[in-house]
Chain A
């Protein structure tokens, strides 16, 4: 795996923000009327269009619709996409890229599946690895925010050590402002989204460059 910066995709106009250093984890936050998952998948798929591997830990969406959403984000249907389905509904799919975990609260199960997927990529020799966790909101519905913080922090520390890219999302309407701030503490940067009449805008804090409200075209 290379230590090169990760390209978040051409939808991010500013270079200092578009290319983030290896080991960076981003929290994408916004109200329900902006599609945070779409933005997260865009950042993940941007890597697969190159030569990175992608692992998505999914709590709020089953593997099949997630694969569909991922492909519509421009990802290709190949072995470099791996899904850890943690919805707890199992998966009827015999897709060998999908590993199902008993429940969203089965943290050891998620971790162990995650470790095995990482090993595959090391064997495959992909350039980099992008890790999505969708979503922090769904996790907070099932666990108190202290446990969610610790879970995310442990994942993020791993992302940092491996030199990967980490992406998660949180809904700012469902979750208390303080909870969002607390979880954001574990991440390197916060990507805030807001709807406008002309389409979604975003701004970034925590990265060297920083970015004030800018329109986002996906």
Chain B
């Protein structure tokens, strides 16, 4: 009971360019994502669901965001999502759909949706929102890892040793900062379930 594990590493890639995977069968729309997003993001595209996994393989690490068209010949957006989810990617998924979804897309495993006709503003808005959500999840991961470290130190050292430990003093300060960051970001209502799913997937 109450198993102890301290094997989680902290990965922060705040400085690197975010990557976006686009799976879209409509040639015109697919090509439009380049001029829209190419300046700020590394964009990789696939013209159908079957090609999505190999597009991911070509990327340098997991895509941060994936935009999946809902209705495609071959694998649908939903099936593509399932195929990608099986790979446990550290990715947020948005569904691109012609009609307002009548089903609960969050329960389906999507984090957000975009309705057609897609505009540059709308795409950027969704990406921003999903990235903010990643920031919350990252801050939560980091905060938890630091807490675990702190508790380990507390368990193995005397109060005098802790008072003299620079590492411990630093840990005391860092969580406070992160704590504020978490309070500020918070997961909005839509992000709540997605955040919980992220924790579930990480396990």
Contact = CB atoms under 8 A, between A and B. Distances in A.
Given A112-B106, A176-B4, A147 B195 contact: no
Contacts of B194: 108
Interface in B118-152: 140-141, 143-145, 147-148, 151-152
Contact of A106 (B3, B187, B192, B200): B200
A163 to B, nearest CB: 13
A147 B202 contact: yes
B1 interface: yes
A188 to B, nearest CB: 12
Nearest to A110: B196
Contact of B196 (A141, A143, A151): A151
B59 interface: no
Interface of B: 1-5, 8, 104, 106-107, 140-141, 143-145, 147-148, 151-152, 154-155, 175, 182-183, 186-187, 189, 192-197, 199-200, 202-203
9 contacts: A108-B193, A111-B197, A115-B193, A140-B2, A147-B200, A150-B144, A158-B187, A176-B2, A185-B147
Contacts of B145: 146
Pick the most buried of A108, A145, A176: most chain B CB atoms within 10 A of its CB: A108
Given A175-B2, A182-B151, A146 B144 contact: yes
A178 interface: yes
Given A105-B203, A108-B196, 4 more contacts: A140-B2, A149-B144, A154-B192, A154-B199
Pick the most buried of B107, B148, B155, B200: most chain A CB atoms within 10 A of its CB: B200
Interface string A124-162: 000000000000000011011111011101100110110
Interface SS, A side:
helix
Interface in A85-111: 105-108, 110-111
A14 interface: no
Contact of A141 (B1, B141, B182, B186): B1
Nearest to B141: A150
Contact of B4 (A144, A154, A160): A144
Contact of B5 (A112, A115, A146, A176): A146
B113 to A, nearest CB: 16
Contact of B151 (A106, A108, A154, A178): A178
A72 interface: no
A143 B1 contact: no
Contacts of B199: 107, 147, 150-151, 154
Nearest to A175: B2
A146 B8 contact: yes
A20 B2 CA distance: 30
A107 B151 contact: no
Contacts of A112: 104, 106-107, 193
B192 A115 contact: yes
A144 B3 CA distance: 6
A108 B200 contact: yes
B180 to A, nearest CB: 13
A108 B147 CA distance: 24
